[in-house]
Amino acid sequence: MRRVRKARAGALFMFAPYFAAMLFCGLIPLVVAIREVANPSWINMKGSYTTIYRILGDFRVIPALAHAAFLLAIFVPAMIVVVLAISLLLDATPVRGNTLMRLVLLLPGIVSGGVATLIWTSLLGPNIQWNGSNIRWLIGGIAFTSGVGSWIVIQYGSLRSISHEVLEAALVDGCNRFQLAIRIKLPMISRYIGYMTILLVAGAIQIYSEPTLLMSTGLTTDWSLSQVAYSYAFRTGDFAGGTALSLDMLIPNIVLGIVFVMNTDFLKRGERH
C-alpha cells in the first residue's frame, strides 16, 4: 500500500506543474473569454453570444480567411512533405556527419521571427513590388524556414524510437529502403505526424508574428485573423469582438484535436515489455 501511495504521490507531484500551467494559461483564460463574448460590442451593441458569428461579417475577415486558406493549402502540406522526407533520409543515412546535419537544420528554428523577417526582406531587396498576391508567399516562406528545422529534429527523434527488431524483420522479408520508409516507418510514427499536422494547421490559422512584423514596413495591415482580433481588442477597445474572433479561430483546432485523439492512440499508454 505504501508503494502505491508513494507512486500516486509522485505522479501527482510530477503532474502538478502541467496542471497549474493548463489551469492558469488555458482553462481560466478560456472561461474568461467565453464570458467576455456576451458583453456589448461595436458589432453587437446589446451584447450576446451571437457576436461569435456576427464578427465574421467584418469586411477584413474574408480576406484574412483567404490568407489562412492559402497557407493551409500550400505551406502546411509542403512543410509536412519536406519534414518527413528529410527526416527519413537522416534516419536512413547513418553517417558521421548526421549529428552535425541535425544541428544545422535546427539553427533556423532558433532564429527569432524578427530576425527571420529582416533576413528575408534583406535578401529579396527593395526592388520587389509587394502586393496582395505575393506578400503571402513572403509570409509563408518566413514561417516555413523558421519552423521546418525544428520539426525535422522532432520527427527524426520519433523515427529513432522505432524498434530495430521491427526494421530488421522488414529487411529480412525483402523490403527495400523505400518500402521500409513508406510501409513501416511512416505508419509507426503516424501519431506524431498527426500531432505535427494539428500544430501546423493551428499556426497557419492563427499566424500573427510574421505579418505583424511586416506592418512596420507598410506591407501588411490586418492581414491575418489574429491581427483583426488584435485590432478589435486593442485599437477600438472592443474586447468582446476580439475575443469572439479568437474563439472562432479556436473552434477548428478543437475539432481537429478531438478527431485526432478519438482516431489515434496518441494518448494511450504504450505496452511495456
What stretches in the chain show pLDDT beneath 50? 271-273
Report which of 153, 155, 145 is spatially closest to residue 108, judged by C-alpha positions.
145
Whole-number Å distance between alpha carbons of 245 and 232 = 9
User: How high is the pLDDT of residue 271?
Assistant: 45
**Whole-Å CA distances, 187 to 123, 192, 235, 264:** 39, 10, 47, 12
**What's at 269, amino acid-wise?**
R
Whole-number Å distance between alpha carbons of 79 and 119 = 20
| The model's pTM | 0.84
User: How high is the pLDDT of residue 272?
Assistant: 42
**What's at 164, amino acid-wise?**
H
Residue 157 cell numbers, joined: 527523434
Q: Is residue 36 a contact partner of residue 101, using CB atoms and an 8 Å limit? A: no
User: How high is the pLDDT of residue 96?
Assistant: 67
User: How high is the pLDDT of residue 175?
Assistant: 86
Report which of 194, 195, 189 is spatially closest to residue 161, judged by C-alpha positions.
189
pLDDT tens sequence across 85-139: 989 988 887 766 667 776 777 776 676 667 778 788 788 877 778 777 788 998 9
Per DSSP, what are the bridge partners of residue 44?
41
Residues 6+ apart with CB under 8 A from 53: 248
Residues 6+ apart with CB under 8 A from 238: 41, 42, 43, 232
Q: Kindly list the structural domains of the chain, giving each domain's residue range(s) and its CATH number in brackets, ordered by start.
A: 62-263 (1.10.3720.10)
